[in-house]
Every structure is written in structure tokens, then in C-alpha cells.
């Protein structure tokens, strides 16, 4: 299986999460067709991929008004009808309902969204492990 990753990041945590996810998928014998920013998506990588993973970060006032950064850009990614997708969202303290908003934005591309997970910036390794584990469970139920 092949995955493309699309990332929105201000200070690097979401890129780190994406790198960890890519490494963990490769350990599961996946290949990565490309990793690019949401703003400049690698169209060839998306086209080649069986699965597109989109990651961004939580923007808000920490306890209220949280939203996934760049949600309109994500909703306006090239149409991905029929393509499987999933999303992840880094946060510091409280992401509110950002993951639901991110899933909704990704749905607007027409992708078949398998789900999404919040990844706490202080627990990148553990939470990316969990993300990959759940992703593989959803894609290949026992
Ligand atoms: C302007 C700004 C607003 C933020 N608002 C929130 C917030 O409301 N809730 C939260 O849990 N984290 C918040 N964060 C923390 C970021 O979501 C977190 O550090 C994230 O991992 C940043 O990802 P990045 O390093 O890829 O840019 C905020 C960060 C910034 C810079």
C-alpha cells in the first residue's frame, strides 16, 4: 500500500508527527509516494497513493474557539473522490472539536475519510503509534 502525506505546520510539530507516521507505515511495509504541504500539494503523490493522510494543528484560544488551522485550504484540496483518506491534528492542551471540523473539511474533497486522531505535541511518538495502529485496524479489520 502507498500513502501520500499532506501537512500544514507552523512550528514543526505536525511535520514531526507526519515523519513519524511515515516511518511507522514503512515499518509495516507501506511505501510513501510523497510528503508535501497542504498549500503546495504534490499531485503526483496523491494520484499514486492508495491513502492520503492530512495533518494540521489546532489554532484557537486554548480553551475556546479551537479549529484546525487551514481547514478551508484542506476542503479545497484537489478532488479526491473515491480515494481513501484520514487526518491527524496536533495540539497543546485542548483541541475542542477540531478533529470533527478537520474530518468535515477533508470530506469536502470527496475522499472516503476513514477517521482522524488528535496527537498531543508532548506525546508525538505514542500518539502517532496509536494513529498508525488504528488506521491499520480500520483498513484491514481482523
Ligand atoms: C496561535 C496559536 C494558537 C494555538 N491554539 C491552540 C489551542 O487553542 N488549543 C491547543 O491545544 N493548542 C493550541 N496551539 C498549539 C498548537 O496547536 C500546537 O503547538 C501544535 O502542535 C502546533 O503545530 P505545528 O508545530 O505543526 O505548527 C496554538 C498554537 C498557536 C501558535
| Confidence check: pLDDT of 48 > 80 | yes
Mutate to test the pocket of ligand 1, among 6, 9, 10, 127 (most ligand atoms within 8 A of CB): 10
Per residue in 120-138, pLDDT (tens digit) is 999 999 999 999 999 999 9
Encode pLDDT of 21-39 as tens digits: 999 999 999 999 999 999 9
Domain range holding 49?
2-137
The total number of structural domains in the chain stands at 1
- Look at residue 142 and tell me whether its pLDDT is greater than 80: no
Q: Which of 62, 102, 118 to probe ligand 1 with, by most ligand atoms within 8 A of CB?
A: 62
Is 115 part of a structural domain of the chain?
Answer: yes
pLDDT tens, residue by residue, 54-104: 999 999 999 899 999 999 999 999 999 999 999 999 999 999 999 999 999
Residue nearest to atom 16 of ligand 1 (CA): 91
In short, whether 92's Cβ falls inside 6 Å of ligand 1 is yes
CATH of the domain at 97: 3.40.50.360
SS3 47: helix
Does any domain span residue 9? yes
Which atom of ligand 1 approaches the CA of 69 most closely?
17
Q: Which atom of ligand 1 is least distant from the CA of 15?
A: 26
Give bridge partners of residue 47 from the DSSP assignment: none
Which residue carries 478537520 as its cell? 102
Asked whether residue 55 is domain-assigned, the answer is yes
Q: Is 98 in the pocket of ligand 1 (CB under 6 A)?
A: no
DSSP string, 8-36: --SSSHHHHHHHHHHHHHHHTT-EEEEEE
142 in a structural domain: no
Amino acid at each position: 500500500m502507498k500513502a501520500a502525506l499532506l501537512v500544514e505546520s507552523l512550528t514543526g510539530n505536525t511535520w514531526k508527527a507526519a515523519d513519524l507516521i511515515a516511518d511507522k507505515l514503512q515499518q509495516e511495509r507501506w511505501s510513501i509516494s510523497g510528503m508535501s504541504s497542504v498549500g503546495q500539494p504534490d499531485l503526483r503523490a496523491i494520484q499514486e497513493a492508495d491513502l492520503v493522510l492530512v495533518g494540521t494543528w489546532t489554532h484557537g484560544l486554548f480553551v475556546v474557539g479551537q479549529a484546525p488551522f487551514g481547514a478551508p485550504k484542506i476542503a479545497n484540496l484537489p478532488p479526491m473522490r473515491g480515494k481513501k483518506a484520514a487526518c491527524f491534528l496536533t495540539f497543546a492542551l485542548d483541541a475542542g472539536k477540531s478533529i470533527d471540523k478537520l474530518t468535515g473539511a477533508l470530506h469536502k474533497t470527496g475522499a472516503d475519510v476513514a477517521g482522524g486522531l488528535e496527537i498531543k505535541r508532548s506525546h508525538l511518538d505514542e500518539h502517532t503509534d496509536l494513529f498508525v495502529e488504528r488506521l491499520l485496524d480500520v483498513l484491514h479489520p481482523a
